[in-house]
Copies of this chain bind each other. A is one copy, B any other.
Amino acid sequence: MPAPIPTEAEVLGYFDKLSNWGRWGADDELGTPNLITPEKTQRAVSLVREGVTVSLAREIRWEPTADVPSPPVHFMLESGEGWASGDKVSARPNAAAIDYIGMVFHGVSVTHVDSLAHFFWNGKTYNGKPAHLVSTSLGATVCSVVAGKGGFISRGVLVDVPLVRGVDWLERGEGVMPEDILAAEERCGFRVQEGDILLIRTGQLRRRSVEGPVDRSAGSTACQAACLPLFHERGIAVMGSDTGNDVSPAQYAKVPQPIHQVGITAMGLWILDNANLEDIAEGCRQRSRWEFMLSIGPLPLHNTTGSPVNPIAVF
């Protein structure tokens, strides 16, 4: 029998109860990554035993799919063709290839982090910053991803929910509960601590590779809102998963995306969407070790509400 989920009133209460507004100063635009102190980074580095790296990014591809109807675009402004022909027509003097890339990285495809300008609640985002400061014309004049320019190098901890539950993957519409995280701690021998980058594997990306992409209306698993108090209590700096990070269909009419809505606006939590956790999960299982150094370097995109990233884990 699944654990009962919090009531909508309880989730609405999280906005106050889990708030980090003012915690790191009235002007702070960084939020929970403040918990990644140099000590935490040093601790993460000290976990490395082998020097083996694993990427947590999905390949960024250009074809529309059932779940990603409007993918990023890639155009070649110059290619390798024709240079040997003797009659090459080019603005460029030397044989080189040049690309244009364009993307809406938010959504359910590109591995990316959300900055604290991505969501709003009651007209504000994290630390009480007014929503209108994230403007159509100028973008995120507060809480842009540039706040995370220094990068996040901390301990990554993988909660492999299918491993703990003994299933292939969670069902769409089903939520990861705090009990899953506690069970993983028990089963895998770690404890989520302050400054950690908490990675939740649901197996949904594995399912996609087996069954193929499906329309977003089919729904999604993700962490249930009930996880938010645990995130807060343990002081995680960044949370990520192999999903878009909110259960759908929505479970609460007034708070349809609680992980993003509470996490970003109240807690100042940076969220890593659409990570590829298959390779790291395999690496963890092989080593019976679910912690590792993790390095995330968000692109310092001026006034932007997030960034595509390639998080690199090191065993």
Contacts and interface: CB of A to CB of B under 8 A. Distances in A.
Nearest to A38: B51
B100 A104 contact: yes
Given A96-B260, A125-B80, A297-B296, A55 B150 contact: yes
Contact of A132 (B40, B78, B81, B141): B81
A99 interface: yes
B55 A38 contact: no
A136 B312 CA distance: 31
A41 interface: yes
A81 B125 CA distance: 12
Contacts of A130: 80, 87
A17 interface: no
Interface string A56-91: 011111101000011001111111111111011111
Contact of A94 (B88, B104, B257, B299): B257
A95 B311 CA distance: 27
Contacts of A182: none
A148 to B, nearest CB: 9
In the complex, which of the residues A91, A261, A301 has the most CB atoms of chain B within 10 Å of its own CB atom?
Answer: A301
